[in-house]
Structure 1
Amino acid sequence: MKNSILYCLAAASMVLSFYFERTPTTSQPSSAALAPQEASFLSGLLAPDDLPSNVLRTSSDSTEYSKYAQRLGIEPSFDDNKDLLATVVSWLGTPYRYGSNSKSGTDCSGFVTRVFKEVYGITLQRSSRSMFEKVKHVQKAEMQTGDLVFFRRGPGQPIYHVGIYLKDGKFAHSACGGGVMVSSLHQAYYSRNFYAAGRVENN
Structure 2
Amino acid sequence: MMRRTGKTFFILTVCAVFLASCAVTKKQQQTASKPAKPQEEKMEFIDGIAISPDAKSSVHQYKGRNTQTKNNSTANSLEAAESWQFKYAQLLDVPVENVGNARLFTFIEDWWGAPYRLGGNSKTGIDCSNFVNTLLGAVFQMSIAGNSIQLYNKVKRLRNRNELQLGDLVFFAINRSKRISHVGIYLENDRFVHASSSSGVVISDLKEPYWKRYYAGAGRL
> Shared fold (TM-score greater than 0.5)?
yes
Q: Which amino acid aligns with 2:209?
A: A
Correspondent of 1:115 among 104, 120, 135: 135
The answer to whether the 8 A contact 2:114-2:124 is kept is yes
Q: 1:186 to 1:79 in 2, by over 3 A?
A: closer
TM alignment of 1:44-123, pairs within 5 A: 60-61=80-81, 63-70=83-90, 72-75=91-94, 76-78=96-98, 80-123=100-143
- Structure 2 residue runs without a partner (length 5+): 1-70
- 2:145 corresponds to: 125
Q: Which amino acid aligns with 1:105?
A: G
Larger radius of gyration: 2
CA apart distance, 1:176: 1.2
CA apart distance, 1:116: 0.9
The answer to whether the 8 A contact 1:100-1:110 is kept is yes
How large is the RMSD of aligned CA atoms in angstroms?
Answer: 2.5
2:182 aligned with 1:161: yes
- 2:73 corresponds to: 34
2:170 aligned with 1:149: yes
> Aligned pairs, how many?
149
- Measure the CA separation in 2 of the matches of 1:177 and 1:63: 27
CA apart distance, 1:34: 2.2
Q: Which has the higher contact order (CA 8 A, sep 6+)?
A: 1
SS in structure 2 of the partner of residue 99 of structure 1: coil
- 1:183 corresponds to: 204
- Measure the CA separation in 2 of the matches of 1:128 and 1:61: 35
Deviations 1:136-193 (A, max 9, x none): 2222111112211001148972100001111121111111112111111111111011
CA apart distance, 1:129: 0.9
What is the identity percentage for the equivalent residue pairs of Structure 1 and Structure 2? 36
The answer to whether the 8 A contact 1:147-1:165 is kept is yes
Q: Which amino acid aligns with 2:143?
A: T
TM-score (norm 2): 0.59
TM-score (norm 1): 0.64
Q: Which amino acid aligns with 1:100?
A: G
TM alignment of 1:188-203, pairs within 5 A: 188-200=209-221
- 2:12 corresponds to: none
Q: 1:190 to 1:83 in 2, by over 3 A?
A: same
Q: 1:137 to 1:178 in 2, by over 3 A?
A: same
